[in-house]
Amino acid sequence: MLGLSKNKPASGTLRVLAALLAYPDHEMRGYLGEMRAILRGEHVLSAERMQEIDALIDSLVTADPLEAEAGYVELFDRGRATSLHLFEHVHGDSRDRGPAMIDLAQTYEKAGLYLAPGELPDYLPAVLEFVSTQPATEARAFLDEMSHIFNSLFSALQGRASPYASVLGALLELAGEKAQPVKIAAEQPLDESWIEPRVFDGCSSQGQARPGQPQPIHLVRNNAKTGVVA
C-alpha cells in the first residue's frame, strides 16, 4: 500500500483531494485536468485508487453542470452520514462542537492559515488544505486521527454507489489505513436547526477529538509584515 512517508511528499495530492470534495461549480471543474496531472505526478496513491479517482474525475467532466451541482448538494447536504463537516460525525448536536471548532480554528491560525468569515473549520476540504501544509509525519498523524470518520464516510458513500467514495478511500490510504466498510446507523430526519446550523451553539460531530453547505473554502496564509495574502 502506498501512502504518506518522510520521503514522499503528498501536499499536492491532499489539495487535489480537498478540491474534489468541493462544490463542483464551473471554476472547480475547469481544473480537473490539472488535478489529474498532479495526482499522477506525485504518485502516492495506489493504481487501483487512482483508477477510481480517474472515474470520479471523468464523471465530473462529462456530467451536465447543473446535474453535477444538484447531485453534490443531494449527496453531502441532505444527511449526517455523508456530511463533510467532520464534527457532525463526532459531537452530534451537543455543545461540545463549539469548543472543538474554536480549537481547530486556533490550530489553523498557529500555522498562519485563516478561514474567511462565516466558514467552518471542520469542513473536510478546509481540513485537508491545512493538512497539506504540514510535514509528512504530522500530516499522516492528522489523517490517522480522522481515519475512523473517513471510514464512516467511505461506507456511507459506498452505500450510495457514489464515486466520491474514492476520495475517502484515498485519504485512508494516505493515513496508512485500509478502507473497511462499517455499519452506518439509520439517520433521523433532518430538522431545521441542522439544515441551518449555528456555528458555536448546538452544532455537531461524532468521532474525532480535533484535528457543507456547498461553499468554496479558501485557507489563506497571512503575511502581516508584507501585507500579502497568499
Q: Transcribe 103-158 into DSSP letters.
A: HHHHHHHHTTEEPPTT--TTBHHHHHHHHTTS-HHHHHHHHHHTHHHHHHHHHHHH
Mean pLDDT, rounded, for 25-34: 96
Instruction: Please tell me the least confidently modeled range out of 71-85, 167-181, 203-217.
Output: 203-217
Nearest to 213 by CA among 114, 107, 124, 146: 124
Q: Coil, helix or strand for 223?
A: strand
pLDDT of 70: 97
pTM (two decimals): 0.75
Nearest to 102 by CA among 173, 129, 37, 110: 110
Helix axes 47-62, 11-20, angle to 10 degrees: 40
Rounded Cα–Cα distance for residues 172 and 62 (Å): 27
pLDDT of 212: 40
Q: pLDDT at residue 12 above 50?
A: yes
Q: Coil, helix or strand for 221?
A: strand
Residue 188 lies in a domain: no
Residue 161 lies in a domain: yes
| Domains held by the chain: number | 1
Rounded Cα–Cα distance for residues 17 and 158 (Å): 17
Residue 3 lies in a domain: no
Rounded to the nearest integer, the mean pLDDT of the chain is 79
Residue 170 lies in a domain: yes
DSSP assignment of 201-220, as one string? SS---BS-S---TT-----E
Residue 187 lies in a domain: no
CATH number of the domain to which 106 belongs: 1.10.3480
Place 198 in a pLDDT band, splitting at 50, 70 and 90.
Answer: very low
Nearest to 111 by CA among 80, 132, 92: 132
Rounded Cα–Cα distance for residues 139 and 129 (Å): 11
Mean pLDDT, rounded, for 134-148: 92
* Cross-strand partners of 57: none
Residue 6 lies in a domain: no
Domain that holds residue 88: 11-182+193-220
Place 201 in a pLDDT band, splitting at 50, 70 and 90.
Answer: very low
Distances (CA, A) of 56 to 6, 35, 59, 168, 198: 28, 12, 5, 12, 32
pLDDT of 195: 44
More confident residue, 184 or 156: 156
Place 210 in a pLDDT band, splitting at 50, 70 and 90.
Answer: very low
Residue 227 lies in a domain: no
Q: Coil, helix or strand for 90?
A: strand
Mean pLDDT, rounded, for 137-149: 92
Residue 46 lies in a domain: yes
pLDDT of 1: 42
Place 118 in a pLDDT band, splitting at 50, 70 and 90.
Answer: confident
More confident residue, 80 or 32: 32
